[in-house]
Amino acid sequence: MNITVVFFLGLIIALVGVIPPGLLNMTAAKISLKEGYSRGITFSTGVCLIVFLQTYIAAMFARYLSNHQDVVEILQRVAFVIFVLITIYFLLLAKTPTKPDIEPHAKSKQSRFFQGMFLSAINVFPIPYQAYMTITIASFGWFVFDVTSILTYCSGAASGTFVMLYVYIFFFDKVKNKKFTSQNNMNYIIGAITGVVAGVTLINIIMEL
């Protein structure tokens, strides 16, 4: 597989996963607003280093699962149900939560880098997400589990995460009061994303029947 395609697959998949406002992107935005964009970039760099490692772990796990197709089939069906339930929740049931107040305390660039690493490390969602997505794109023949492809994909995932954090850092202050950034609208965005993933999962299950 062309490594350029693999890189951009990793970039797009990771970027989509970071679109919904969460601890990492909102912290990056807050740091940028309060301390300057350079510290936000430093924080994001620490985040992306851990994302690279998490994606590598996910790819190793996915490679193991790819050799145990019976397990993959079970996981696909479980994932489909989970994504459908998440979609229903965010589109129909989610309510606007109390706005979190994330107050940065560390001041040095070095501490911001390690803060990014720490917060990214305790956010384990990318591992199952990337494992599932890696298996999915491999099932379509878009990805193979060799060293070059895995490292390229991990680089793309780290880059995609950085791009979305960059967007939050530089544009959050300008758009934070706009209508499309309200929590209800973000719920719809998350629901739409998980709905698309559920659709792709269903197609993949049907193709394998």
Model pLDDT for residues 89-125, shown as the tens digit of each residue? 767 765 554 444 444 454 566 688 999 999 899 887 8
pLDDT at residue 1, rounded to an integer: 60
> Does residue 134 sit within a domain?
yes
Burial code (b: 16+ CB inside 10 Å, e: under 16) for 82-92 equals bbbebbeebee
> Does residue 80 sit within a domain?
no
Residue 174 belongs to what domain range? 3-75+103-178
> Does residue 149 sit within a domain?
yes
The pair of three-digit structure tokens given for residue 51, joined into one six-digit string = 């994302």
> Does residue 165 sit within a domain?
yes
- Structural domains of the chain, count: 1
> Does residue 150 sit within a domain?
yes
- Give, for 140, the enclosing helix (H) or strand (E): none
Specify the pTM.
Answer: 0.72
> Does residue 88 sit within a domain?
no
pLDDT mean over 73-84: 74
> Does residue 86 sit within a domain?
no
